[in-house]
Structure 1
Amino acid sequence: MAFTDTTMRGQALERIELLRTLSWDLAAIFDGGMPTLDQLRDAPVLRDYALSSHQVSCMEGFVSGHPLLGEGRRIKTSQLFCVDHDLKWIRTLSRFYRLEGA
């Protein structure tokens, strides 16, 4: 799917870059090389903090052919990143899904 809308394309490219950076950072942390002292020195400070959460977009429906969740269960997908209603597919954080019905 090509993004012909320039605003949507710009937002998608920004999200792609954020995800690439996150992926690189997580791999470096896993390997024991992050964060560096320079990165921590330049990082914003969060005061009086507490664990919280916020909603992210996802899809909900009955799944079939899922490698972990099996057949016929009602599920909520992981975070939704891309939807093509015409070609009937979505991309979530973890995988592609084909869409049927609705």
Structure 2
Amino acid sequence: MRKKATFAVDLRTLESLTGDLVSVRDGKFNFADIENAPVLKHVSVVHRPMQCLEGVVEGHPRLPDGHRIVTSQLWAACNAQVLFARTLNRWYRIETVADLWGC
């Protein structure tokens, strides 16, 4: 069973996600803010009980460069000034795409 303290962490994560998505929707998102976001290479969308991204990561605060990872739940993937994605936990800049949306 999850600890009650986890709820507060989950809520902060969702509030951060909501704020980011509202900024994108309202055209107020500053793409310079993700200049130092981890980079995913050779990306494809994978399916768990929810959609996630799988790719080789660089610049992640906790994971070593060059490792193939599966992200937390995918919430948004957009191609504006740069191709980027917002997962439940963080922003990613997409460098190369291997298979997007299973196509």
TM-score range, shorter chain: 0.3 to 0.5
Hey, which of these two has a bigger chunk of helix by percent?
Answer: 1
Q: Which protein has the larger Cα radius of gyration, Structure 1 or Structure 2?
A: 1
Task: Name the one with the larger strand percent.
Answer: 2
